[in-house]
Structure 1
Amino acid sequence: METTTKTGTLVEAEELLRARTHSPLVPLPIEVRGPEPNRQTPAVGQRTTRPDARTHGLGQTKYIDDFYVPGMLYAKIKRAGVASARITKVDTSEAEAMPGVVAVITGKDIPVNSFGPSLKDQPVLAHERVFHAGDGVAAVAAVTEQIAADALEKIKIEYEEFAPVLDPLESLKLETPGVHAPSANIYGHKLIKKGDIEKGFAESYRIFEASFRTQMVEHVPLEPHSSLAQWDANGRLTIHSTLGRITLGRADIARTLGIPMSRIRIIATVVGGNFGGKNEITTEPVIGMLAKKTGRPVKCTFTRPEEFYASTTRHPIIMDYKTGVTKEGKILARKVRLVLDGGAYCSWSETTLGKACILCAGPYEIENLVAEAFVVYTNKTMTGAMRGFGAPQVCFGYESHMDDMAKALGIDPLEMRLRNVLKEGSLSPTSQALHSVVVKESLLQAAKRFGWNVQGAGQGQGALP
């Protein structure tokens, strides 16, 4: 039943309750379309406009260090400055007496003083032991950033220093007790075996051995780690943070502060660079405690030096390669040992260890393979997530090794690779059948565009078109 008015037609309630005709159902199964194998996606090469480009270009983007909340305090963290030591005394009385200082906390004030994405071996603030020079020992909240920085100089800490372990190979040999006594220094291990390694070496025309090392690398984001915390009247904590992993961050903050995750809200802000270096909490539990103690909002931003000694870095890896080849350069056997320097804490070392070990053979068909990887503690800046998780380091190792072998055998390095690359259906080091493999095609296309040995490369393996 309908009623006509000056503004239109009103539909009565019973009309709304009547069954409506539905659109025909979509027949199952639904066809899912994906990119065609060996075809470039049309998105590559297209111009796109970033929605944040204008504000970035005009310098109008607001980062956490640009934020100000009424009544806000500024926090600074006192770093240990020693690589390995027992804390015997912490005196914060002078800092607490300074005009403008509102609160000081130490490791004993943290409800649950440990966190980590896998092993919970990292303290928010070191309490009894220091494991690297960047460990925080105390934190200050003051009315200005300068007063907070000055107050750090007034905190007196006494240490019983120990000889630090700085060489990962030395750490590998140490028995318990190690860096984190009574735990052993080796806290991660992976072993991959495929085929008969001794048979492969016995049949080889020549065996090459080489060792490669990569260094510790800092992410160096333009925006350092930064966060701002405030509690509401209902006991809920809100943190603006540069964190890249919000859920993991909430879980670690809940653990360290001893409150449910449901009472924590993290607001992700515009981030001025991450690259994996902002995957873990740093300042968040500290300012959470300071904000609770003072009843005021608290903000903390790392200095540039702190980014280098108090945040995570890329894992340095020592890589030992032994490879047996035929006279024509075909790889018959390869043995690899990796030693990852994890620094003072585990962080993402287990993930990095696994990926590095699986990928260390390179994109090559090797029937006989042994790859073994260890990760060890040292008293150095902690390592963690960084783009590639171990892949860039081992790529440097196996490709350098390929170049050395090609030169010694008198084979063009591109040709050496073409004779060994994975192809459709090849088995990975863990015996996974590989599909959509275009390593050879990619090398040939790149060589052609680059002008590398265009006439000779790929002979017998599909010459350059």
Structure 2
Amino acid sequence: MGATRIPASLTQASQAQGGVGESTPRPDGTLKVTGDFAYASDLWHEDMLWGHTLRSPHAYAEIRSVDVSQALRVPGVYAVLTHADLPAATHYGLEIADQPVLARDVVRCHGEPVAVVAADHPETARRAAARIVVDYRELTPITDEASALAPDAPVLHPGRADAHAAHVPHPNIVHRQPITRGDVAAARARADVVVSGDYEIGMQDQAFLGPESGLAVPAADGGVDLYIATQWLHSDLRQLAPVLGLPEDKVRMTLSGVGGAFGGREDLSMQAHACLLALHTGKPVKMVYNRFESFFGHVHRHPARLHYEHGASRDGVIQYLTCRIVLDGGAYASASPAVVGNAASLGAGPYAIDNVDIEALALYTNNPPCGAMRGFGAVQACFAYESQMDKLAAALGLHPVELRRRNALSQGATMPTGQVVDSPAPVAELLRRVRAMPMPPERQWVTADEAGETIDVRALPGGRAGTTHGEGVVRGVGYAVGVKNVGFSEGFDDYSTARVRLQVVAGEPVAAVHTAMAEVGQGGVTVHAQIARTELGVAEVTIHPADTRIGSAGSTSASRQTYVTGGAIRRACELVRERVLDLGRARFGSHHPAWATAELLLEGGKVVTDGGEVLADLADVLGDEVIDVEREWRHRPTEALDPHTGQGFGHVQYSFAAHRAVVEVDTELGLVKVVELACAQDVGKALNPLSVTGQIQGGSTQGLGLAVLEEIVVAGGKVRNPSFTDYLIPTIVDTPSIPVDVLELADPHAPYGLRGVGEAPTLSATPAIVAAIRAATGLPLRRVPVRPEHLTGT
């Protein structure tokens, strides 16, 4: 990408007029908070049918027969489809096509789709689905590593052939990635202090606001138009078209209103089912999951078991690390191979350690499928290595921050994969900043007045439940820091496409931006308009709806969209600007020598010199011309990690965040209140400071959920709490004060120097909170989420 000079006036929030660097309001913000935003679940077509899915009640079972005759007799039913009715490809998958569209001979997880129904009313569709008779023979489910790798374990996906199978030791392992560097045996021999620990992370749900939903409309050309809430339009298209037996140009996808995602919409859910029903009936079909069904309709965060060992010299320098990370991928691969890669390559954390021996793997089991979720493998590793840092600091008699500072990565350091960190890595500075932030006052639940002390139970652990009045409440403080990659890794062709149009409308220059980026709540539509305003110097920018009529923008995940799609928009804008200036030189160049001699900019709807002299109005330069540019943009390439040593330039960028948690714990009742969760994070360049702060606070809150609240409880492969009654997410009552200190150290390889923001704070929030609880209670706490019984011994 060619170098672009940003006028100083456009880099300052006070003068940016909606450009880069300004806290520009979200265009969808008011609609969302007032309830007027149209989500995919609000889609409507006057003659549409409703789809419903029949799901397996078993975690692992043979299907002997499926009888749909009674369902078809229900008045109002238009279609009942099973595996036998599929017109083309029968399987799909995000990375490995191992997931059946509808189960045929076997179900491998609780909630797996077996049949779909289309009817004229959603309740009719549900009643009809209940009349489908499936003869199952239950099998003993594989639920953990021991049962998955046992000598007599059934192979869950026999005959699977893919790029990962050659270097995994067992067919029930989805993927394995070792990373070795240095000489661990020699380093262990010279270590003065060695600490080890076993850690466990429960299964977390994305718990997005809007359940899976979409509307499929059959088209006159034999194709289908799908309006869908998703994270990755073109990935859906790549998997969907073969299932429908259609060329991709006959499967047209348009993004509908998305109520959050966090990774849970990367895989297909109801896309194929709705389209199959629409094509079969010739009528539009809408599908909307209820909350119960949503728990079975998408992947979750991988639960994990981790063993870590660190050795250090007496001066606090870490000499070596060994670890083994076992992720439960559930019944289907989803994004497990990439999650394994992240867990392994980031498994040492933001620390310079010369000698490492890391192994990460993901299992096939009969538990719910797991895949992408905010943090993507790095969350699990971070809880373990940060717990180890606290344990090692205690063994050495050092403050937890001081131990981390002595081993912190910095620019020029080498990762365990051999990759040199070639942009700012201010780990020590983030720790210094977060430690220096003012502490919240003690005993916030007490107000003193002339009448004495008044207890405000809302500020106590347990809140209005009134279970404590301050007795047995102890405060603790904990710290953590994490490292997360930005963008797709390990040689993936990570790119985005943008089309930018500039023309005069009603006498004013107007820009239009079209990408396939999924706006899932992260604020991309805001930032994209800011980039266009900055690069083209116009006030009015229109963001077109995302669809597959333009090239891929990749997934809205991996903290990549501002980097990659923002980079594509910037590049397209640069080319538009070049054409504008060429027009101006042709039309006005003879009138002023500056057209040929000066550096020219577009600013405030005018063409100006770098000295600020106005040469022409942009509208006059454009006249009746319409400048339309579409471009792909790629960041620098990465490479696959060596399957045996884990060496390679695996990641395009790293992001870092540090947290300090302050908690209060009722040690008798096992209740925890997070009083404050302060964060310091390097964002490279805050394109929209308000949005950046919101992303950091949102990611921190999701980390809080994993620390003390959120877990999908699975027993015998079956989900026991598929509702928000029993699966608890943080509410405003649980969310503490989250002060944020934003550091901006530009990455020279990234557009505007920016660094992906959304995921890094999720990593370090969880271990910081648990460290604070440990400090308050003295308990080891090796598992998250922390439950009351972990604190009381009951």
TM-score (norm 1): 0.86
The answer for unaligned runs of 5 or more in structure 1 is 1-28, 35-39, 454-465
Is 1:334–1:361's contact at 8 Å kept on the other side of the alignment? yes
Structure 2 counterpart of 1:133, from 102, 110, 120: 110
The 5 A counterparts of 1:313-324 are: 313-324=300-311
CA-based RMSD: 2.1
* Corresponding position: 1:449 with 2:425: no
* Corresponding position: 1:48 with 2:24: yes
In structure 1, what is the equivalent of residue 377 of structure 2?
390
* Corresponding position: 1:361 with 2:338: no
The 5 A counterparts of 1:143-292 are: 143-174=120-151, 177-182=154-159, 184-292=171-279
Cα distance, 1:54 vs structure 2: 2.1
Letter in 2 for 1:360: G
Letter in 1 for 2:27: P
> 2:129 and 2:39 mapped to 1: Cα distance?
25
In structure 2, what is the equivalent of residue 15 of structure 1?
none
* Corresponding position: 1:83 with 2:71: no
In structure 2, what is the equivalent of residue 338 of structure 1?
325
Taking a change above 3 Å as real, the CA distance of residues 174 and 50 of structure 1, as seen in their structure-2 partners, is farther
> 2:108 and 2:91 mapped to 1: Cα distance?
13
Is 1:310–1:381's contact at 8 Å kept on the other side of the alignment? no
Letter in 2 for 1:63: Y
Cα distance, 1:172 vs structure 2: 3.9
* Corresponding position: 1:439 with 2:439: no
Structure 2 counterpart of 1:61, from 28, 33, 37: 37
In structure 1, what is the equivalent of residue 119 of structure 2?
142
> 1:439 and 1:44 mapped to 2: Cα distance?
26
More divergent stretch after superposition (350-359 vs 274-283):
274-283
Letter in 1 for 2:32: H
Report Cα offsets for 1:297-345 as digits up to 9, x if no partner: 1011111011212311011121110111112322101101111100000
Taking a change above 3 Å as real, the CA distance of residues 41 and 317 of structure 1, as seen in their structure-2 partners, is farther
Letter in 2 for 1:264: V
Taking a change above 3 Å as real, the CA distance of residues 167 and 33 of structure 1, as seen in their structure-2 partners, is farther
Report Cα offsets for 1:217-259 as digits up to 9, x if no partner: 1111111001111111211210010111000101111011111
> 2:346 and 2:308 mapped to 1: Cα distance?
13
In structure 2, what is the equivalent of residue 106 of structure 1?
82
**Identical positions, percent:** 36
> 2:297 and 2:351 mapped to 1: Cα distance?
38
In structure 2, what is the equivalent of residue 93 of structure 1?
69
Taking a change above 3 Å as real, the CA distance of residues 286 and 201 of structure 1, as seen in their structure-2 partners, is same
Taking a change above 3 Å as real, the CA distance of residues 33 and 300 of structure 1, as seen in their structure-2 partners, is same
Cα distance, 1:177 vs structure 2: 4.1
Is 1:189–1:375's contact at 8 Å kept on the other side of the alignment? yes
Tell me, what secondary structure is at the counterpart of 1:141? strand
Report Cα offsets for 1:158-210 as digits up to 9, x if no partner: 11211001113432445674222355101201111110010010001122111
> 1:209 and 1:437 mapped to 2: Cα distance?
27
In structure 1, what is the equivalent of residue 97 of structure 2?
120
Is 2:54–2:116's contact at 8 Å kept on the other side of the alignment? yes
Letter in 2 for 1:147: T
Tell me, what secondary structure is at the counterpart of 1:398? helix
Taking a change above 3 Å as real, the CA distance of residues 278 and 83 of structure 1, as seen in their structure-2 partners, is same
Is 1:230–1:297's contact at 8 Å kept on the other side of the alignment? yes
The 5 A counterparts of 1:274-313 are: 274-313=261-300
Structure 1 counterpart of 2:315, from 316, 319, 328: 328
> 2:281 and 2:20 mapped to 1: Cα distance?
52
* Corresponding position: 1:72 with 2:48: yes
In structure 2, what is the equivalent of residue 6 of structure 1?
none
Aligned residues: 420
Report Cα offsets for 1:12-52 as digits up to 9, x if no partner: xxxxxxxxxxxxxxxxx954469xxxxx9979995321101
Letter in 1 for 2:121: T
Larger Rg: 1
Taking a change above 3 Å as real, the CA distance of residues 223 and 166 of structure 1, as seen in their structure-2 partners, is same
> 1:199 and 1:185 mapped to 2: Cα distance?
34
Is 1:174–1:185's contact at 8 Å kept on the other side of the alignment? no
Tell me, what secondary structure is at the counterpart of 1:422? coil
> 2:66 and 2:2 mapped to 1: Cα distance?
66
Letter in 1 for 2:232: R
In structure 1, what is the equivalent of residue 563 of structure 2?
none
More divergent stretch after superposition (174-183 vs 248-257):
174-183
In structure 2, what is the equivalent of residue 348 of structure 1?
335
Is 1:84–1:164's contact at 8 Å kept on the other side of the alignment? yes
Taking a change above 3 Å as real, the CA distance of residues 175 and 418 of structure 1, as seen in their structure-2 partners, is farther
Cα distance, 1:449 vs structure 2: 1.5
Taking a change above 3 Å as real, the CA distance of residues 325 and 432 of structure 1, as seen in their structure-2 partners, is same
> 2:420 and 2:144 mapped to 1: Cα distance?
38
Taking a change above 3 Å as real, the CA distance of residues 91 and 223 of structure 1, as seen in their structure-2 partners, is same
> 1:242 and 1:225 mapped to 2: Cα distance?
7
Letter in 2 for 1:244: Q
Taking a change above 3 Å as real, the CA distance of residues 173 and 203 of structure 1, as seen in their structure-2 partners, is farther
Is 1:222–1:272's contact at 8 Å kept on the other side of the alignment? yes
The 5 A counterparts of 1:390-409 are: 390-409=377-396
In structure 1, what is the equivalent of residue 365 of structure 2?
378
The answer for unaligned runs of 5 or more in structure 2 is 14-18, 161-170, 440-476, 479-794
More divergent stretch after superposition (74-83 vs 170-179):
170-179
Taking a change above 3 Å as real, the CA distance of residues 236 and 182 of structure 1, as seen in their structure-2 partners, is closer
> 1:81 and 1:175 mapped to 2: Cα distance?
25
Letter in 1 for 2:394: K
Tell me, what secondary structure is at the counterpart of 2:390? helix
Cα distance, 1:148 vs structure 2: 0.6
Cα distance, 1:370 vs structure 2: 0.7
Cα distance, 1:84 vs structure 2: 0.6
